[in-house]
Chains A and B, each alone.
Chain A
Amino acid sequence: MNTRHFFWRLLLYRPVFYFSNLFAWMVIHMAPLLPGLITKAFFDHLEGTYDFPYGIWGIAALLVGAALARIALIAGGFWTDANFRFRISTLLRRNMLAHVLKEPGAKAIPCSPGEAISNFRDDVDHTEEAMSWSVDMFGLIGFVIVSSYILISIDAQMTFFVFVPLILVVTAAQIATTRVQKYRAASRAATAKVTSSISEMFSNVQAIQVAGAETRIVRRFERLSDERRQSMVKDKLITEALSSVFTNSVNLGTGLILVLAGYKMRSGSFTVGDLSLFIYYLTFVTQLISNVGNFMTYYKQMAISFGRLKDMLQGASARILTAPAFIGLGKRRAAAAETAGAGGVREQGDGGRSASGEAAVGDAMRTTAKARREEDRLGADVAGTVQADPLQVLEVRGLTYRYPETGRGIQGIDLRLERGSFTVITGMIGSGKTTLLRALLGLLPAEGGEIAWNGRRVETPADFFVPPQSAYTAQIPRLYSDKLRNNILLGLPGTDGSLEQALHAAVMEDDVAQLQHGLDTMVGPRGVKLSGGQVQRTAAARMLVRDAQLYVFDDLSSALDVETERKLWERLFRDRGEATCLVVSHRKAALSHADHIIVLKDGTIEAEGTAEQLLAVSPSFRQLWHGEESHAGAK
């Protein structure tokens, strides 16, 4: 898919909005034709070459009337523009987000979240601008056609000699503006150098202060800043020189008209009214040409942004971006698209049909509680797409994943989890414990190996290892800016007392009682800051509230004090019933309860067995066992 297709497919998502927007802006851009004619009528009326039937007051009223009509058009134009822009950018963001949530969880984006946010924000914004400005470009064509007709009928020769050179000059300047990227890139690079030097300085502030290098660092910063000034000024000079062509083109055009009009005015074939009309239209022609220029710039930017958005997809088809989907407005029609991830992209070309239904924004406002409930049900459906037999035995053979950047990871891991067993994975920092869990759950795409559930091979672990099969607590769990209750339930109903049970099992009940708003407390980055231990236990509750056959947790107790940890393990062993557990931990409490312990080293299994066996045979296990307190201290 190239940029043109991308553009076209976005347009087709809501064609009715696009074409009403196009129509509205074409008319808005053509509206200045009218005041120009009224001004001409005014001068002709004064001079007596033309008798306006309603007199001077009529002309004045007409002028105000034309302005009011244009205002009404502008209101309509902004309404369609806002609607269309919002819908396509929301569609893009929705599709990107949905795709990210379908990718292996530990590798969902190919860059840092910070960079990905800029994809979500800036690249989508650029696309939206380009889509919207295309409408203005078409508006120009309408204006040029009608105004040429009027001007030519007044004086064909003058029209030709004034407008053709002017349009050429302005267009050339416009093209040059879009082409002058060299200086722009240089100034951007200089800016990046300055900001990164600021970041460097302040992330190493202690080293700088220790070395007493403050003055030298500031001198270096001044040097970089000055380089930036030079490239910025150069950039500005070029763009300003080009843009002054636009601002001054009206004056130059007026001069040209004066040169040509002198003779004609003397002979009476060209009135002051004609002169005013020519000069009036001149302003708008140059303004509209700069609109085309804007579109060209935005379109180029959109091509770059499109490339970046494609990179975000990590190799998936770019059609995902523009696939029509429900975006939260109106009734949900394409609900099935939600689950399409596993089977690839759904090619449902019903964009046109649904658009007509959504043409009235009132629909969006009228979204009733009923529709909302339906959505929630659909949302829950998504979670339960796979339902496997109760776990008897989970076998893993030859599981391998290596991080492409470092070549480290896990290699040839064999694993067997019996129903109801409690298995602990342990090992030094960097031995591959977390990687093993991630590769097993499909949060990282395994390079090799087989996973079998009750002897049947699991084809796509990422889609399979979700509730009701398994639930998971990450090493560094994330809470979202939402109520504590929603953070735990993540869309489950939680009405049957399961929430209370999970809170109890995760030793969270006292903490909840102490929060001012209890379960309704807003938590996460924008809410109440919970302690590290509370975050971990919330995540544990999040996992336990999900009725799963296999619970997987990564270093659950790393931020807990001894007493809380003891309670947690105690309750877990008492309440887990038939559930199978796979745990990463160094803690003696976990290790001594384990049915089976796996010691990892450098990505492979170094030893396995029960704690007793391992203490006898494995020196590195002994080290871990004895070294536990020091880790506890270090944390």
Chain B
Amino acid sequence: MGHYREMLGRYVFTQRRLLIWLAVLLLVSIALQLVNPQVIRYFIDTAQGEGSLNALYYAAAIFIGFSLIQQVISVCAAYYSENLGWTTTNRLRADLVEHCLSLDMTFHKSNTSGTLIERVDGDVNALANFFSSFMIHLLGNILLMLGILLLLFRENIWIGAAMSLFVVGAVFAIQWIRKFTVPVWTKWRAQNAELYGFIGEHLEGTEDTRANGAAGYVMNRFYDLSRRMLPVRIRAFMGFGMMWSTTIFVFALGNAAAFLVCAWLWKRGELTIGSVYLVFYYTELLAKPIEKIRTQLEDLQKADASLIRVRDLLSTKPQITDGPGAPLPAGPLSVQFNGLTFSYEADGEPTLRHLDLSLKPGQTLGLLGRTGSGKSTLARLLLRFYDPQEGSIELSGVDIRDCKLHELRSGVAMVTQNIEIMEGTVRDNLSLFDEEINDAEILSVLKELGLEEWFASLPDGLDTVLASGGGSLSAGEAQLLAFARVFLSDPGLVILDEASSRLDPLTENRIEAAISRLLEERTCIMIAHRLSTVQRADQILILENGQIVENGPRAELARDPQSRFSRMLAVGLEEVLA
């Protein structure tokens, strides 16, 4: 129960006003539900006697009036409870999102955006009822049930006793029958998952199936599944029928018992006919709270699994945390690696080994090496997506582990070959929702990157909505927008990770000038797989299996015929590295 209390305390109990309103409405509604049968009793008993009919009409009017008030109340209660549910779960969703965004890449590598949707939205939706009306409805229905029993006791102790016995029996019987039905539904759901898994696989594998003439195999597997599913489906439905049947049977027994006790008391003259009807009415009314309490408890069970998952997610600690907040100087940054060793898995083969490097402010480093040599890893370490196991990285003399993460990342920018366009306007994509960046700045950057023509073709200018993943953009345009982002955030160190690899030679020439502008007054690390890209580098570093095999000023290396770099220039990058 501890974790329920914690979550409720954090999200629900803080919404005191909504809660109080909801509770008041519910109490009134319970009172009305309890009072109305009394009105009928009064009506029946009065109808048996003599005298003016007016009293009967008043009773009927009161009954109708109460019913209408109750209707209004139930609508209001639904409104408040829905509002409460969404307000609280939205807060939880936002907390989850914020938390997940603070987690590092180790987490995001193992959790796709699909599973995160399921956990941020799916699991939280399952908690909606628990967060909104669960407590109030559960308490309300228990109150209603107790109220009915109390009023029955007030009629006659024997009636109260018989009906209390009935309620206990009913709850027990309904719980007991659930034992048989729930497992079948679980099995049915598992079979369904299997069926859709099977269909999904084959929808993806149509090429293999079709061209190898295996349609018969697929259909036979489908028939096999269908043969296995039918009996389970029938049993699941029968189980559902059994639940319903149990309710019907239990209430028939309850009514029969009420009839017997009432008839006995009636004969002894202890009950009026109106009171007999009252007992009958309350017995029927008891079905509702019993059913509601059952479904609420069931919801709680369902919510439980989600609640545990949500708590697990919230308690996942990021491996990379903020440093004490050493400030980075403005302007170009120097870069210093001291004996850097890093591996992705704790006891795995190191991806980078004892790396030492120093880069002066404003210089450009060309980083070469074949795939898997550790180039991109180096970039990730500079942005603290991971921390090295040994050694350190210093930017202008500051160990990056001493910086606040967001300060580090506003000082260091990276452009990769991935297209990272979000659904949203061009402005949002360029400024990443930073409202301090004004349109004039954005426009001047676009101009600088030669995107004027592209911009002019946009129907709504900066408000044009881009599709997720940049569907409407060419790969080159998407890449240029990524450059634009860097211009706007004005960092002191820029990392270009094969950034121009998607550009055709023509576009690449076009942005040469833009890159030159970008590198003015900035330090830069260029990760490249083409030699032309590193022509502007001041320093060259060649990595192989996580180790430096060559490092020095570009011009010097190019002159030295023994260097790998000059061999590369002569015969091509790939032949040397292979």
Contacts and interface: CB of A to CB of B under 8 A. Distances in A.
Interface in A210-241: 210-222, 225-226, 228-229, 232-233, 236-237, 240-241
A76 to B, nearest CB: 9
A233 B87 CA distance: 10
Give the size range of B's interface with the partner.
35 or more
Contact of B94 (A120, A218, A326): A218
Interface stretch (A95-103, A420-428, A509-517, A604-612): A95-103
Contacts of B198: 480-481
A101 B259 contact: no
Contacts of A71: 245, 248-249
B114 interface: yes
Contacts of B410: 211-212
For the complex of A and B, list the 6 residue pairs with the smallest distance between their C-beta atoms, beginning with the closest. Answer: A328-B223, A491-B217, A379-B216, A105-B210, A262-B56, A67-B252
A620 interface: no
B256 A64 contact: yes
B469 to A, nearest CB: 8
Interface in B233-271: 233-234, 236-238, 240-241, 244-245, 248-249, 251-253, 255-257, 259-260, 262-263, 266
A396 interface: no
Secondary structure dominating the interface of B: helix
Nearest to A208: B101
B241 A375 contact: no
Contacts of B562: none
B468 A196 contact: yes
A329 B200 contact: no
Given A198-B116, A200-B422, A101 B213 contact: no
B288 to A, nearest CB: 10
Contacts of A83: 230, 234
Interface in B429-486: 432-435, 468-469, 485
Contacts of B209: 101, 105, 490
Interface string A450-470: 000000000000100111001
B212 interface: yes
Interface string A328-356: 11000000001000000000000000000
12 contacts: A78-B240, A82-B236, A94-B223, A98-B219, A100-B202, A114-B200, A205-B101, A262-B56, A376-B220, A382-B215, A542-B208, A546-B213
A35 B405 CA distance: 72
Contacts of B346: none
Nearest to B263: A56
Interface string B132-157: 00000000000000000000000000
Interface in A179-199: 194-199
A379 B499 CA distance: 52
B280 interface: yes
Contacts of B67: 248, 251-252, 254-255
A544 to B, nearest CB: 11
Secondary structure dominating the interface of A: helix
A151 interface: no
B79 interface: yes
B234 A361 contact: yes
B206 to A, nearest CB: 4
Interface string B506-549: 00000000000000000000000100000000000000000000
A204 B422 contact: yes
B414 interface: yes
Residue among B97, B205, B211 having the largest count of chain A Cβ atoms under 10 Å: B211
Interface stretch (A4-12, A39-47, A564-572): A39-47
Contacts, number: 445
Interface string B60-82: 11011011101100110011001
Nearest to A477: B208
Contact of B266 (A46, A214, A491, A552): A46
B220 A379 contact: yes
Interface stretch (B289-297, B349-357, B551-559, B570-578): B570-578
B179 interface: no
Contact of B79 (A240, A441, A634): A240
A471 to B, nearest CB: 5
A384 B121 CA distance: 49
A236 B79 contact: yes
Given A200-B422, A201-B97, A202-B100, A478 B86 contact: no
Interface in A1-30: none
Contact of B574 (A78, A543, A627): A627
B211 A466 contact: yes
A370 to B, nearest CB: 15
B313 to A, nearest CB: 12
B183 to A, nearest CB: 17
Contact of A232 (B86, B260, B422): B86
Contacts of A441: 211
Given A266-B47, A328-B226, A627-B574, A491 B216 contact: yes
B25 interface: no
B11 interface: no
Contact of B36 (A208, A251, A263): A251
B314 interface: no
A153 interface: no
Contact of A43 (B75, B93, B276): B276
B199 to A, nearest CB: 5
Contacts of B211: 105, 441, 443, 465-466, 470-472, 474, 552
A407 interface: no
A172 to B, nearest CB: 15
B214 interface: yes
A86 B232 CA distance: 11
A589 to B, nearest CB: 16
Interface string A493-517: 0000000000000000000000000
A461 to B, nearest CB: 10
A328 B225 contact: yes
Nearest to A196: B423
Interface string B84-102: 0011001001100110111
Nearest to B96: A198
Contact of A225 (B93, B192, B529): B93
A198 B263 contact: no
Contact of A211 (B370, B485, B573): B485
A208 B432 contact: yes
Contacts of A445: none
Nearest to B218: A101
A46 B383 contact: no
Interface string A73-99: 011011101110110001001100110
Nearest to A45: B263
B109 to A, nearest CB: 10
Nearest to A83: B234
A627 B231 CA distance: 59
A68 interface: yes
A531 interface: no
B94 A116 contact: no
Contact of B86 (A233, A326, A438): A233
Contacts of B385: 206, 209
B169 interface: no
A619 interface: no
Given A121-B192, A200-B468, 10 more contacts: A86-B230, A202-B116, A206-B105, A207-B432, A210-B383, A218-B98, A251-B64, A254-B40, A262-B56, A438-B207
